[in-house]
Structure 1
């Protein structure tokens, strides 16, 4: 039912924890449903013990977009893509299936509502923002994505403004523009963190370690601001009707 795409760059030590979290979901995930994109990773690093897991070893650093190529070829109705520092609660996929059947949109672990004609300032909703017990409509989602497989094509309808950043912004924008598809964050209730996309107590600090993209690129947020400005000029309809 769900194909899962994991990305390995420099945090391969987190891979086993991610796989365990997937196999322990209340919605069954088989090893054969898991795809691992080794993004310019060392070829001598340990591969998963299960031979059913599908691996793709890329010698080139495709940064943020490359892993999404796998979503074009899988055969399941749904696809889930994870950043390499995200460890979901064991009811995350159950949460996503309930949400997507009620709110037909791209789902994410963190949602962003833009407040101006730029990425900043913004309001974040999800595991690292407002913990809402409801499905929340947002402008874009990231950290982890859950979507119908036939929506994977929208990310490739237009060439990115840059290949170095902004795949999350681009996916939500293009899905809205070409498919009329909105973005949502499923419930992240305080009383049940097993529903969360990422459980902070199980976060090993990878999101803020020396490999974090926003820490290694002084232009990270400036570029994200520019991507948002460009897409708004191109007709992106934001929740606050920014123009």
Structure 2
């Protein structure tokens, strides 16, 4: 009946008493006016939360033998295929006596790399490393080893990022970048290629790693015997070459340190690429990404202690901007996200919510650019104490007046991460003070099938506010004094009760 009604094929028949009822029903179902007496279907909170969990829950922790049992596009018989070619990047700085040991380890891999790059920038022991590399080249010539060995060095201090910048120009599909204290065992590349070519664990693979809080270290220190999805990996980064460029997708918050946080956070945000610490396999150490003297090597030339303040500031900035951390899915508190575009809207919307809402749930507040909005968070928290705050920093990457499309696209990326981080399952906006940025947030919510509650005023109507009103799950009307009438308050609280 509906199909024929839409196509206009139903003929009027005075003798058919059910036809007017059918027309009325069809018209009501397909009517787009939000004043319809038919209420939109409300997806239960448990269903929305379940979908969020499916997107954010950490992968199962498997041992290396269990991972090898998973289907993979790779097998060791394909080690000579270009499709599985590897470039290994070894970064040296101030540890001596390791270069030849490293080359021997890389060439002894059951799946050896096609290309080896050694990099060292502004090293205080450059002459000693030069001598070690000269010895390696002589040894390679004498033994007839077949490998492409390139050396990149210079006076410019590129710190922790130079090796990743060079990796951008790798010609193989896979790239692995090493700290010089994580010397891999002979089956490490084989284990990584098998893992990264499974459906479940296609991501950045590291020798060690930590949650955002850096309160526990998986890998050689803890001896964790399962693959572990984690916020940040280090020691080594085994990944597809195309993922390296994601590291430089955002404006760098610091060049002093934090390459591990930058690559992992941006890979999650822009590539939906997860990060994993490879298992420590005591039953078969040949798959490990480190040697038994790892601790001794590490303490012999560690530089992390000099940059801890920079790492902390970077983490806090990334957290405010939005990033999904591995334990975010464990949040059980019900949360709604409120998105605002300016200081006035923030104050009015938070006051309105506090005055009319009868629901006790967590609030996540988000803005596109805190500098533009000129928010005073302490002032806003006096109105209502929100649990999370996210500043998407839109436009800061380019220091230019980016286009409306670019602003909308950037907003969607950060908004999605903020939803995952806060586990928000609904959105509140004020559409009557909207631009393309609010429209982008509402559109993203519709793509994710999350309900949008829109506060709007009949005295304000433009393209963006009209579009948001059409896309919203429910619209709350403000009168000419920006006051919500009691009947609207009752409807709002019923909707929020049904949503949560």
TM-score tier by shorter-chain length is: 0.7 to 0.9
Please say if residues 208 and 278 of structure 2, whose CA atoms lie closer than 8 Å, have aligned partners that are also in contact. Answer: no
Please say if residues 2 and 80 of structure 1, whose CA atoms lie closer than 8 Å, have aligned partners that are also in contact. Answer: yes
Task: State the partner residue of 1:231.
Answer: 318
Change over 3 Å in CA distance of 1:204–1:15 after alignment to 2:
farther
Please say if residues 192 and 238 of structure 2, whose CA atoms lie closer than 8 Å, have aligned partners that are also in contact. Answer: yes
Query: Normalized against structure 1, the TM-score is what?
Result: 0.88
Instruction: For residue 40 of structure 1, report the CA deviation from its aligned partner.
Output: 1.5
Instruction: For residue 204 of structure 1, report the CA deviation from its aligned partner.
Output: 7.3
Task: State the partner residue of 1:91.
Answer: 187
Instruction: For residue 171 of structure 1, report the CA deviation from its aligned partner.
Output: 0.6
Structure showing greater relative contact order (alpha-carbon pairs closer than 8 Å, 6 or more residues apart) = 1
Please say if residues 112 and 189 of structure 2, whose CA atoms lie closer than 8 Å, have aligned partners that are also in contact. Answer: no
Instruction: For residue 172 of structure 1, report the CA deviation from its aligned partner.
Output: 0.2
Query: Normalized against structure 2, the TM-score is what?
Result: 0.44
Q: Distance in 1 between matches of 2:87 and 2:261?
A: 22
Q: Distance in 1 between matches of 2:87 and 2:310?
A: 31
Q: Distance in 2 between matches of 1:238 and 1:113?
A: 8
Task: State the partner residue of 2:166.
Answer: 70
Q: Helix, strand or coil: the match of 2:120?
A: strand
Task: State the partner residue of 1:140.
Answer: 232
Structure 1 residue runs without a partner (length 5+)? none
Please say if residues 112 and 139 of structure 1, whose CA atoms lie closer than 8 Å, have aligned partners that are also in contact. Answer: yes
Alignment map for 1:200-211 (pairs within 5 Å): 200-201=292-293, 203=294, 205-209=296-300, 211=301
Q: Name which of 243, 258, 263 aligns with 1:151.
A: 243
Instruction: For residue 222 of structure 1, report the CA deviation from its aligned partner.
Output: 2.8
Q: Name which of 108, 127, 137 aligns with 2:220.
A: 127
Please say if residues 21 and 88 of structure 1, whose CA atoms lie closer than 8 Å, have aligned partners that are also in contact. Answer: yes
Q: Helix, strand or coil: the match of 1:111?
A: strand
State the Cα deviation string for residues 208-237 of structure 1 (Å, max 9, x = none). 12x31034x1xx323222221211111110
Structure 2 residue runs without a partner (length 5+)? 1-84, 142-147, 329-420, 423-500
Task: State the partner residue of 2:112.
Answer: 28
State the Cα deviation string for residues 186-207 of structure 1 (Å, max 9, x = none). 2222212111111224x37231
- Confirm or deny that 1:57 pairs with 2:148: no
Please say if residues 177 and 236 of structure 1, whose CA atoms lie closer than 8 Å, have aligned partners that are also in contact. Answer: yes
Task: State the partner residue of 2:303.
Answer: 213
Alignment map for 1:37-48 (pairs within 5 Å): 37-41=119-123, 42-43=126-127, 45-46=130-131, 47=133, 48=136
Task: State the partner residue of 1:197.
Answer: 289
Task: State the partner residue of 2:197.
Answer: 101
State the Cα deviation string for residues 88-127 of structure 1 (Å, max 9, x = none). 111111110111112111110002123xxxx44x222112
Instruction: For residue 161 of structure 1, report the CA deviation from its aligned partner.
Output: 1.5
Rg larger in structure = 2
Task: State the partner residue of 1:177.
Answer: 269
Please say if residues 108 and 144 of structure 1, whose CA atoms lie closer than 8 Å, have aligned partners that are also in contact. Answer: yes
Q: Helix, strand or coil: the match of 1:80?
A: strand
Q: Distance in 1 between matches of 2:281 and 2:269?
A: 31
Would you say how many aligned residue pairs link Structure 1 and Structure 2? 230
Q: Distance in 1 between matches of 2:220 and 2:194?
A: 18
Q: Helix, strand or coil: the match of 2:276?
A: strand
Task: State the partner residue of 2:89.
Answer: 5
Instruction: For residue 154 of structure 1, report the CA deviation from its aligned partner.
Output: 0.5
Please say if residues 124 and 130 of structure 1, whose CA atoms lie closer than 8 Å, have aligned partners that are also in contact. Answer: no
Greater helix percent: which structure? Answer: 2
Greater strand percent: which structure? Answer: 1
Q: Name which of 254, 260, 266 aligns with 1:162.
A: 254
State the Cα deviation string for residues 152-197 of structure 1 (Å, max 9, x = none). 1111112322111110011100111111111011222221211111
